[in-house]
C-alpha cells in the first residue's frame, strides 16, 4: 500500500493510498472568507464525515458517488495499518474512489439568501438571471435555481453563466450535472423539511469515475449548505443558520479585513458554532436514520 499526503486544504487532508483510492480526512479546522481560523471546532470533522456518508446513501439511486466506506473498521480492513494517528482519522475519514473532478461547483438555491439576495436587491437578478419583482430576503424561490461557479485554487470562486460553464465541460455534461444536482436537492430538501430544517442552498461537486458522472467530496453538510430551522424562518429577514454563517457575521462585525491572520475566536463563538453543527447533524442524519 502507498500512503502519501496529496493535498491539505482549508478543511480536508487527502491521502493517496494507491489502487485508485483516496483517504479523505475532515479536520476540525474551520474557514471563513477563504481564511482558516486558528481555533478548531471540536467534532466538526466527525460531523461533516457522518453527514456526507448519510446523504450519499440517501441519494445513491439518483447518482453514483465516490464513497467506498466511511466505517473505521472497514477502512482498517482495506488499508491495514496506516502511518497517521488514529485520533486524527477516527470517525473523520472516508475511503473513496479517485475521480477526475469537473472544474466547477454547482449551487442549487431554493431560497433567496446570502450573495444571491444581495445581487437581487441591487439588480433584480441572481447570477445575472433576472427574477420576478417583489421577492424579499429569505423568500422561497418559485422553483429551485441551478447556478455554477469556478473552483478557485486560491482566492475566491467566480460565478459563471451557464453558457460559459457549458464551454468548460460541454453542454451534455452540464445538463447531466444539472439533472443530478436538482434531483439531489429536491429530495434532500423534502427530507430536511420533514426534520424541521430548510435547505436554503447547497453546493455539489461532481467528477468522472469509470466513465460515470458521480457525486464527490462533501454533500449537504453545514460547510457546504445553508440550513435554517423552520421555526426561525421568516420572509423579510435573515433566519438563524445551523452552519457557519453566524461565524461569518461575527467576523464581519469585528471589522476584520478578511486577510490573514484572522481575529481570535472567543470561546462562546467556538462553542456556539459546534452546537449549530451538532444540531444540524442530529436533526438531519441522526433523526432520519432512527426513523421507522
* Phi/psi of residue 255, nearest 5 degrees: 85, 10
Tens of pLDDT along 205-264? 999 999 999 999 999 999 999 999 999 999 999 999 999 999 999 999 999 999 999 999
The single residue listed with the C-alpha cell 475511503 is: 95
Band of residue 291 on the pLDDT scale cut at 50, 70, 90:
very low
* Residue-averaged pLDDT of the chain: 93
- Per the domain annotation, does 153 fall within a domain? yes
Q: Tell me how far apart the alpha carbons of residues 239 and 229 are, in angstroms, rounded to a whole number.
A: 8
pLDDT of residue 292: 39
- Structural domain including 9 reads 4-98
Structural domain count of the chain: 2
Band of residue 89 on the pLDDT scale cut at 50, 70, 90:
confident
Q: Tell me how far apart the alpha carbons of residues 215 and 60 are, in angstroms, rounded to a whole number.
A: 9
Q: Which domain-ending residue is among 52, 82, 98?
A: 98
Strand pairing category for 93-97 and 67-69: antiparallel
pLDDT of residue 157: 72
Q: What CATH number is associated with residue 57?
A: 3.30.200.20
Tens of pLDDT along 179-201? 999 999 999 999 999 999 999 99
pLDDT of residue 28: 95
Same domain, 57 and 190: no
Same domain, 236 and 152: yes
pTM above 0.85, yes or no: yes
Amino acid at each position: 500500500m502507498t500512503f502519501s499526503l496529496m493535498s491539505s486544504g482549508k478543511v480536508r487532508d487527502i491521502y493517496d493510498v494507491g489502487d485508485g483510492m483516496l483517504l479523505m480526512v475532515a479536520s476540525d479546522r474551520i474557514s471563513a472568507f477563504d481564511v482558516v481560523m486558528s481555533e478548531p471546532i471540536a467534532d466538526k470533522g466527525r460531523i461533516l464525515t457522518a453527514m456526507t456518508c448519510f446523504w450519499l446513501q440517501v441519494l445513491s439511486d439518483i447518482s453514483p458517488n465516490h464513497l467506498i466506506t466511511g466505517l473505521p473498521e472497514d477502512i482498517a480492513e482495506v488499508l491495514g495499518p496506516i502511518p497517521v494517528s488514529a485520533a486524527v482519522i477516527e470517525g473523520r475519514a472516508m475511503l473513496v474512489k479517485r475521480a477526475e473532478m469537473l472544474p466547477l461547483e454547482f449551487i442549487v438555491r431554493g431560497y433567496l439568501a446570502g450573495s444571491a439576495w444581495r445581487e437581487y436587491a441591487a439588480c433584480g437578478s441572481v447570477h445575472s438571471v433576472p427574477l420576478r419583482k417583489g421577492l424579499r430576503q429569505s423568500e422561497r424561490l418559485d422553483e429551485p435555481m441551478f447556478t455554477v461557479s469556478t473552483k478557485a485554487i486560491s482566492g475566491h470562486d467566480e460565478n459563471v453563466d451557464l453558457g460559459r460553464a457549458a464551454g468548460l465541460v460541454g453542454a451534455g455534461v452540464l445538463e447531466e450535472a444539472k439533472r443530478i444536482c436538482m434531483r439531489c436537492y429536491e429530495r434532500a430538501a423534502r427530507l430536511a423539511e420533514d426534520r424541521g430544517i430548510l435547505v436554503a442552498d447547497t453546493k455539489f461537486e461532481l467528477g468522472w469515475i469509470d466513465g460515470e458522472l458521480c457525486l464527490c467530496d462533501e454533500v449537504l453538510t453545514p460547510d457546504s449548505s445553508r440550513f435554517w430551522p423552520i421555526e426561525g424562518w421568516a420572509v423579510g429577514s435573515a433566519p438563524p443558520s445551523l452552519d457557519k454563517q453566524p461565524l461569518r457575521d461575527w467576523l464581519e462585525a469585528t471589522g476584520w479585513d478578511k486577510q490573514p491572520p484572522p481575529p481570535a475566536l472567543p470561546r462562546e463563538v467556538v462553542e456556539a458554532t459546534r452546537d449549530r453543527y451538532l444540531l444540524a447533524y442530529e436533526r438531519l442524519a441522526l433523526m432520519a436514520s432512527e426513523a421507522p
